Amino acid sequence: MIDAKQVVGGFIRDIRGKRKMSQQTLSDKSGITYQYLSEIENGKANLTLDILSALSDALGLNLPKLISMAFMAHEAAAIPTTNARFFRHKTPLPGSLSFEDLETVLNETQKLVGAINYNLVNLGGSPLHRLIQGNNFSGLVSNLLSECFDQHTHFKSNSGQRYPDLIDEKTKVGLEIKATIKPGKGGESHNGHSGWHLIACYEIREDGNIEFLHVMMADLVGHNRKNADWKYVGSKVNKTTGSQRTETYTTNLEGLTKLRDGSVYLNTEKIKTDRWKPQRRRGEACPAWSIFS
């Protein structure tokens, strides 16, 4: 059973610490005694709406937001985070991107999905993945990834939803983002352009939250250039559902090999790469950073 006093009190303590505010300062700003505030933060004191309102005002939050954020932070313990040992630090990254940036982006995206699910479930609904079709859910994850890149790295959203999704403001390198539930899956594109592509594979957990298992990145050669990494497949109709897919290009085996070589994050406990052969290269040696090396 959740102890509301501990959840709210602990959140107040954490927010105060993040804002580098002492207990005495918060006590003075809220008109609450230092001893009473200490008991609140330790989950020992009973809380009234007047006291919570005074504390939320002193912290610069409205009362509903303080309560919502407190319980959301409590639920966040169930949201998965990346495992440092699954990052493959010798793998090249595009532009100014660092592995620290990538870790932040993946974790923040998982957190955003968790926040959406938290609100949906607490309003009496179902987790997000049960409300929309699988391809639309993957599209949402892709959009959230792009947003987190924009918020936490030098890769910023490209205006007008043009290709590529993101452009590094420091190096002008572009990055196209895709998400999928299929490990080791190749790229799909409306146009098969040249440039860096990221494909993030995730799984959906029982609580509706997502966990990234595999992230591939590669600089692919466009379909209209020599030694292209894309092939034209046209638009296909799903015989079961009758829906028509809009992708017109997918990566060929050379492009797929490049992406798998560029596995920057790989959960080897859940992803088995021995099923991914064969590989195909155009005469070049297998790079030292490849998972096949």
The domain locations on the chain are 4-78, 84-275
Give the predicted TM-score (pTM) of the model. 0.77
Residue among 164, 158, 163, 150 at smallest CA distance from 97: 150
Model confidence at 243, pLDDT cuts 50, 70, 90, reads low
- Burial annotation 211-234 (CB, 10 A radius, 16+ → b, else e): bbbbbbbbebbebeeeebbbeeee
Which of 23-37, 38-52, 119-133, 149-163 is the least confident region? 119-133
Which of 52-56, 73-77, 259-263, 266-270 has the weakest average pLDDT? Answer: 73-77
Does the pLDDT value for residue 59 go beyond 70?
yes
Token digits of residue 229: 């990494």
Q: Kindly report the average pLDDT of the chain as a whole number.
A: 90
C-alpha 109 chain-centroid distance: 2
In angstroms, the CA 187 to CA 154 distance is 23
Which secondary structure element, helix H or strand E, spans residue 175, and what is its range? strand 174-180
Give the dihedral of Cα atoms 166, 224, 243, 127; nearest 10 deg: -20
pLDDT for the residue numbered 246: 65
Over range 8-17, report the average pLDDT: 89
Q: Domain spanning 4-78 has what CATH number?
A: 1.10.260.40
d(CA 269, CA 246): 33
Residue 94 has pLDDT above 80, yes or no: yes
Question: Amino acid identity of 64?
Answer: P
Look at residue 237 in the predicted model and tell me its pLDDT: 67
pLDDT tens for 197-223 read: 999 999 999 888 999 999 999 999 999
CATH of region 84-275, choose from 3.40.600, 1.10.1200, 3.40.50, 1.20.950: 3.40.600
Query: How is residue 203 written in tokens?
Result: 């799984």
Give residues with Cβ within 8 angstroms of 28, minimum separation 6: none
Give the separation between CA 79 and CA 217, rounded to whole angstroms.
24
pLDDT of res. 70: 81
What is the predicted pLDDT for the residue at 23? Answer: 94
Cβ contacts of 13 within 8 Å, gap of 6 or more: 41, 42
> What does residue 213 show for φ and ψ, rounded to 5 degrees?
-110, -30
